Each structure stands twice: as structure tokens, then as C-alpha cells.
Amino acid sequence: MANKSGSLETRILVYAPIGKDAQLASKILDGAGMACTACRDASELSAELDKGVGVVLTVEEALAAGALAPLAQFVSRQPTWSDIPIVVLTHTGADSAGLDAAVERLGNLTLLERPVRTTTLISTIRSSLRARTRQYQVREADRRKDEFLASLGHELRNPLAPIRTSMAILKRMYPAAYGVTQVREVVERQVTHLTRLVDDLLDVARITSGKVELQCERIALSAVISHAVEICMPLLESSHHKIDVSYPPEPILLHADPVRLVQSLANILANAAKYTLKPDRIFFKARIENGNVIFSIKDPGIGLNQDSLLRIFDMFTQSDSTPGRVMGGLGIGLSLAKRFTEMHGGTIHAKSAGLCQGSEFVLTLPIVVDALSTDSASRHSIENEIFRARNRQVLVVDDNRDGADMLHRLFEADGFTVTTAYDGHEAVETVKRIQPDIVVMDIGMPGMDGYEAVRLIRLQPGGADILMIALTGWGQESTRQLAAEAGFDHHLVKPVDFDALKNFLENALG
């Protein structure tokens, strides 16, 4: 039957394969201006549910005849905003076993005993539809919130970039001036913290819109652990905790997204430090079992009660008994850790004997590649080499003048010959004139953006040999791909860590 309103989401799916109930109910509801779709069998019901539904209307006999399973499946798969209203016309008198099961499994269920008065049926379906409309409004608000988070994160990134580069310049100008160093360190710490919060917000937005893709590679277990510990070191030191790290002595290679894995472990480790209020010992262990790597982070801190153990992995959730908000977090870290772990095919769970009894977080991942071969990734030398890229010509392009000027000064302080351009046109002209070795260019610029500028630069004589690095506030895969297609060799997300950029150039230029 055609849907009068044209919207699948507000239609009534009627499933009553035996007798005349379906026909009668549809006639009554259609007459009252509510669009109905009648389903002939359980598989049609299942398919129609997936297309969109406002209310399900069925009868007690149909539940036993195959409707319960698809409905229960649909109910259990619902997103958090959805609570599909289901109306069941029942027999008079005693409850059946089928009804008991339906009450248990179908959630938002209304039972109407037959014979049902027409007005009762119409008003029940109408109020169910109103409730469903509210759910759609919640979904819409949720979507807007995600969009808002994404653009907020993006906007916050831009001012962070020049602050961070200014700090790096101050560090070079006054490497050891008492007073300046202290102030600089405070700003640096806070900017790092802010950057992390912004990154978390962007991750939430990407995850909820399904835009996170893992970038898996071979990585040494030892490198993952030491990086996670390194990230948390300032926090561990300022709270005077000791950390006991242990992992198998033999080299172990994992196949994982190093950024996401380290991020997950670092959050759990940071939590262990944050929620252990007095200086104490935290244990960070990894072991290999049946091809899985099992990480355990155990603290003797404030612990978690049963209720919190179930909820803390939800987005923006903090345990009532912990001073989470006082600690400056958003309640995002664990939900990100859980999503990233699941994307790797793993599991994460928390254990605690109760409040004040410490906690243990266990991450199990089926990502071990090789537990015996040579640990090449951990062999990377981190000694400071003489930076061979000196005397290279760099062109910095950014319409944010503060950002461009700061990067200009940083490159200059490191011995590069630097030129700056403030938009795409100027960049193309400057490349013709100075033939740089490296171009570091913003993508979003008024007039000619970075994509177009790089395309034109690549077409110029000698343009193919320039090392082109894109610089943007957006770190998602689609931007990376667009940047690569346009002709960039590499893509960096703002605020750029200048030391990391330098390291990258060092490797790229040889």
C-alpha cells in the first residue's frame, strides 16, 4: 500500500497474517490519516522494518507465528535514540507464554485487548507516533551536536597552531632564561592539554559519523608501550606515581594503527594516574597468549562500583563517585579506547573489587604478527643527528598570517632559507621565482586553495621535484586522500609539532 505522507519513518507496519485484523486495522488507520504498510510474512516484516518505521502494529497470534524474532532483533539493534513503539492486539483473558516473551524482549510494548474500540486503536497509534516523532527529533539534535563538535574542533585547532609555534620560538630565543622558561612551560603544558581535548572532540565527531579508518602497520610492542608511557610521563611524575612496566623480552611485532593503539593505552594509563589520588605504584603489563596481545593496566586507586563498571565506556560518562570533571576530562577517553580496540578486533574491560579498591583495565587484541622475528621497528635510533636539510629553500604558505610567520621564523632559526606566501596565487608565483626544495602549505585558503595551488605548482618546470607538505586543521582520511590526489607528498594536521616536522623532513630529504 502506498505511503500517503511519503515518509517511511512515520508509517505503521501492520503484521497480522491470519484473519482480517490487518485489513481492518489498516482501513481504520488509513481513514484516520495514518499511513499503513501491511506485511505478508515475517521476512517481509524484517525487510520493511529496516527501511523505516513509525509504529509496529501486530497481533498476539503473529508473535508465535514468526514475528517475535525479527522484532526482537530490530529492537536489540536500535541506535540509542530509538525506542520503536510496538502495539499488540491480544486475546481476552489469560496471558500466553508468547506474550510474556514479547513483554520481556520488545521493550516499548503496548497491549490492547480485543475487541478494541476504534477510538482506542486510533488514539493509541497516534500517541505512539507522537512519541516516535520525538525520537526522530532526538536523533536530529544528536546529528547537529556531532556536526557542531566537528566544526568546533576544527575552529579550535587554528588558533592553537600559532600559539604552539610561538612557544617553540620563545624556547629558541631564550633557551634557559629563568622566569621565561617557567612561564613558557605553563603555556606549553596547557596548549598540549588543549590540543588533546580538541583531538578527542574531533575523534568523537569522526567516530559518530563513521569516518575513522585505521592506518595499520607493523609496529614493535616495545615501541607501543614506551610511547604510551612517554605520553603519560608528565602526569605520572607530577602525581609522584611509580610505574612498573613489563613485557616479554623477545621482539614482538604487532599489526595495528600505532596512533590509535597508543592513544587507547595512554588514556587508560592516564586514568590510572588521575584516579589514584595518593602517590603509589601503577602496573603496566603486556603478555602474549594464543596469538593475542593482552595489555593490563592496574592501579591501587579509587576503584569503581558495579554500576560504574558498566557505564564508563559510554561517551561522556564519568563515574558518580569519582572527581572526573574536577580532573579536567570530558569522559571521552575510555569510549574512544573501546571503539579503537573493537576496530582492531579486540575487547576491553574493566575490573574492580569496589570503591577504594583499585582498578584493572584489560585490553585484548588479536594483532600479533610475529613473536620471534627481529624487532626492526624498535631499532629506530632516536639519537640526535645533524640535520642535513640546512640551507634548503622552504616556502611557507598560509592565509593565517600569524601561523605563516611563526613557521617562517622556526624554519629560519633552524638554518633554512625561508620565503612566505599568504595565499595560493602568491604561492604559485613565488615557486616560479625561487624554486624552493620544500613547500609547506595550508589547504583551506580564500581564492585559490592549497589543492589547486599544488596542482599548478606540479605543472611548472621542476615542480615535480619539490617536496610538498599539506597543512590542515582536518586530519580525516578523505582530506589525506584529496591532498595526495592533488599532488602533496605528505599531509600534516595543525597544530604542527615543529620537531616532528623537522624529523620528517630529515627522513624525507635524506
Ligand X SMILES: Nc1ncnc2c1ncn2[C@@H]1O[C@H](COP(=O)(O)OP(=O)(O)OP(=O)(O)O)[C@@H](O)[C@H]1O
Cis peptide before 258 (omega within 30 of 0): no
Q: Which is nearer to Mg ion, 269 or 443 (CB)?
A: 269
Q: Is 304 in the site for ligand X (CB under 6 A)?
A: yes
Q: Is 85 in the site for ligand X (CB under 6 A)?
A: no
Q: Is 330 in the site for ligand X (CB under 6 A)?
A: yes
Applying CB under 6 A, the span of 76-84, 116-124, 318-326, 408-416 interacting with ligand X comes to: 318-326
Distance between CA 201 and CA 247 in Å, rounded? 32
Q: Are 377 and 223 in contact (CB under 8 A)?
A: yes
- CB of residue 409 vs ligand X: minimum separation in angstroms? 33
Distance between CA 489 and CA 56 in Å, rounded? 54
365 binds, among ligand X, Mg ion, none (CB under 5 to 8 A by kind): none
330 binds, among ligand X, Mg ion, none (CB under 5 to 8 A by kind): ligand X
Helices 450-459 & 424-434 angle (0-180, nearest 10): 30
Residue of 338, 284, 329 lying closest to 309 (CA atoms): 338
Q: Which is nearer to ligand X, 309 or 413 (CB)?
A: 309
x/- mask, ligand X, residues 188-217, rule CB under 6 A, reads ------------x-----------------
Beta strand 109-113 with 86-90: parallel, antiparallel or unpaired?
Answer: parallel
Residue count, binding to ligand X (CB under 6 A): 23
Q: Are 235 and 273 in contact (CB under 8 A)?
A: yes
- CB of residue 194 vs Mg ion: minimum separation in angstroms? 16
The residue within the footprint of ligand X, chosen from 39, 334, 428, 505 (CB under 6 A), is: 334
x/- mask, ligand X, residues 25-64, rule CB under 6 A, reads ----------------------------------------
- 22-57 per-residue burial string, b: 16 or more CB within 10 A, e: under 16: beebbebbeeeebbbbbbeebebbbebbeeebbbbb
What is the footprint of ligand X within residues 264-283 (CB under 6 A)?
A: 267, 271-272, 275
The binding site for Mg ion (CB under 5 A) comprises 267, 271, 329, 333
Exposed/middle/buried for 132, CB within 10 Å: 0-12, 13-18, 19+? buried
Residue of 336, 101, 369 lying closest to 216 (CA atoms): 369
Q: Is 359 in the site for ligand X (CB under 6 A)?
A: yes
For the record, the C-alpha cell of 182 comes out as: 617557567
Q: Is 322 in the site for ligand X (CB under 6 A)?
A: yes
Q: Is 153 in the site for ligand X (CB under 6 A)?
A: no
Query: Could you list the residues that contact ligand X (CB under 6 A)?
Result: 200, 267, 271-272, 275, 299, 301-304, 312, 318-319, 322, 324, 329-335, 359
